[in-house]
Structure 1
Amino acid sequence: MKIWSTFFISMLMMAPVVQANAQNYPCSKSMGGVSHCQNGKFVCNNGKISQSKKVCS
């Protein structure tokens, strides 16, 4: 029981870190990451333009 408690607590502590990393990157892993910048917007490797509010140069 103690092992499961420790595992559960550690997973709860790691969840915000994983979520923060996902929110701060313009193109998600499923979009293949960032390919290049076009007119101040991030273009993903799958050809779609990121919906990110960040501006690239």
Structure 2
Amino acid sequence: MKTWSALLISVFMIAPVVEANAQNYPCSKSMGGVSHCKDGKFVCKNGKISQSKKVCS
């Protein structure tokens, strides 16, 4: 029982950190990730330009 409680608590502590990292990444998983940089903007692997305010080089 203690093992399950510890596991459940650790999952709840890690979940927000994983979500925060996903929100800060220029091209989401559904866009396939970052392909390359063009004119200071991130181009996703699906061909779309990221709406991120970050500038790439």
Distance 1:2 1:30 in 2: 37
Q: Secondary structure in 2 aligned to 1:26? A: coil
Equivalent positions of 1:27-38 (< 5 A) are: 27-38=27-38
Runs of 5+ in structure 1 lacking a partner?
Answer: none
Q: CA deviation at 1:17?
A: 1.6
Which structure 2 residue ranges, 5 or more long, are not aligned? none
CA drift at 1:46: 0.1
Percentage of matched positions with identical amino acids: 81
User: How many pairs does the alignment contain?
Assistant: 57
Q: Distance in 1 between matches of 2:51 and 2:8?
A: 33
Task: Report the AA paired with residue 34 of structure 2.
Answer: V
Q: Deviations over 1:6-55 (max 9, x none)?
A: 22211111012201220221111111111111121100000011111101
Moved over 3 A (4+): 1-4
RMSD: 1.4
TM-score, normalised via structure 2 length: 0.81
The 5-angstrom pairing of residues 32-47 of structure 1 reads: 32-47=32-47
Residue type matched to 1:46 in 2?
Answer: N
